[in-house]
Amino acid sequence: MFDKVLFWCEFPDRVNWQKLNSLLKKYSCEIKTYVAVRSVNEYKKLKNYSNIKIVGAWPTLPLKEGYWFSGHISKKSIDTLNQYKDIDIKLDLESPIPLSKGVSFKVGLKVLKDMLTKGKTNEYLKKKILQHNKSLILSTYPFPKFILKKVGFFDSKKINYNFFYYSSFIPSFLRPMYKLYFKRIIKKRNPQKTFFTLGLIGTGIFNNEQIYKNIKQFKKDVNFFYKNKVKNLVLFELSGILKRKNPDQWINYIKTLSNK
């Protein structure tokens, strides 16, 4: 169905890698994943399994530094990207927020403020991204470009892009409008250079995000992107697979998504 299918793994320490690999082998399913790490040394300690290939790093920061990357963090924090210069990475471009408090109205206001204020280190972050030697996927919100530029977003033929399609966050009565909005994004982006992340299969860093209620919701999202001729798909989040009520059902379906 899709040319490329990836996973984001935000919590490698929550994954029972051997159990997951055994389940994947059972259904002849092979997956590729980017894994969240704090350093290149952390990344190098990770190992591949027969049916799980770790293909890139997902650099993150200590919570006190903002966790994600944007023009609202310090140059010192941005410089941590230097260590990954010879590794394929995916970089989350998001507002630094008080993660320990979970998803809340206060957090939402903080994100809104950052989206309306130009980051002081935007140009420095852009320079660092363009200096990266290997493949880089810049991952961010599905917001209008004039808003994304506030946190450091920019377009470049050198890099790939990823946009979050987290329909589990959206009330069911608003999802038709959400899809119409995304159709516009899909049409404007280069299909070979753009990824879209479906979610959530499992919770993220806040631990209280809304996730898919069942696999039927997930399949609807997959079909939406297939019908709109998207080439590259990402699934969030890997450690959530084994926590589903019937992980076999999910794996058996996921194996059908890739053309390769």
Does residue 5 have a pLDDT over 80? yes
| Four-point Cα dihedral 180, 182, 185, 189, nearest 10 | -120
Residue 47 CB coordination number (10 Å): 8
> Model-level pTM?
0.93
CA distances to 21, 122, 181, 250, 253 from 28, in Å: 10, 44, 36, 13, 11
Summarize pLDDT for 173-216 with one digit per residue, the tens. 999 999 999 999 999 999 999 999 999 999 998 888 999 999 99
Phi-psi region of 152 (alpha: psi -120 to 50; beta: other; left: phi over 0): left
**Cα-based distances in Å from 105 to 33, 95, 97, 111:** 32, 15, 12, 10
pLDDT in tens, 18-73: 999 999 999 999 999 999 999 999 999 999 999 999 999 999 999 889 899 999 99
Q: Which residues contact residue 18 at a Cβ distance below 8 angstroms, ignoring those fewer than 6 apart?
A: 49
Kindly list the structural domains of the chain, giving each domain's residue range(s) and its CATH number in brackets, ordered by start: 4-254 (3.20.20.80)
Decide if pLDDT at 140 tops 80: yes
Average pLDDT over residues 105-126: 84
- How confident is residue 113, by pLDDT bands cut at 50, 70 and 90? confident
